[in-house]
């Protein structure tokens, strides 16, 4: 199962349309909610992720720390590989609770990989 957490209704609708255009009609759920509430909702439902991809708007730099902290303190991120996309000139940080950055790839933008 794939879960999308998206606060924007417009962006959630685009995700839905894109999935439908690819013929994907099941095995996903779009949670139209603020990120921290989405994480709490998934945790309440005892969802454990294998991979978590973060792509907040680059201007919302504080969202990285809030989200990575929330994932570090939740059950959903405990065994996941967390991948955060960010600007090359911005460093979201190395450690968030038990989450530790294990790799950083910079090509155009950057990806930081975290694991517990």
Asked, for residue 77, whether it belongs to a domain, the answer is yes
pTM recorded for the entire structure: 0.91
Question: 77 pLDDT exceeds 90?
Answer: no
Asked, for residue 103, whether it belongs to a domain, the answer is yes
Asked, for residue 28, whether it belongs to a domain, the answer is no
The total number of structural domains that make up the chain: 1
The residues facing 28 across adjacent strands are 2
pLDDT at 107: 86
| Contact indicator for 69, 93 with CB cutoff of 8 Å | no
CATH number at residue 85: 3.40.50.150
Asked, for residue 38, whether it belongs to a domain, the answer is no
What range defines the domain where residue 67 resides? 49-115
What mean pLDDT do residues 54-81 have?
93
Asked, for residue 2, whether it belongs to a domain, the answer is no
What mean pLDDT do residues 104-109 have?
92
Asked, for residue 35, whether it belongs to a domain, the answer is no
Sequence-separated (6 or more) residues with CB below 8 Å from residue 22: none
Give the pair of three-digit tokens for residue 81: 């590989």
């Amino acid at each position: 199962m794939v879960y999308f957490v998206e606060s924007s209704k417009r962006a959630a609708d685009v995700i839905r349309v894109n999935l439908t255009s690819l013929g994907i009609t099941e095995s996903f759920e779009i949670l139209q909610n603020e990120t921290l509430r989405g994480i709490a909702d998934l945790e309440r439902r005892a969802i454990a992720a294998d991979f978590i991809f973060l792509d907040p708007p680059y201007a919302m730099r504080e969202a990285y720390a809030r989200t990575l902290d929330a994932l570090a303190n939740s059950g959903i991120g405990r065994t996941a590989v967390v991948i955060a996309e960010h600007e090359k000139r911005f460093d979201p940080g190395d450690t968030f609770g038990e989450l530790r950055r294990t790799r950083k790839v910079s090509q155009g933008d950057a990806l930081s990989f975290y694991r517990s």
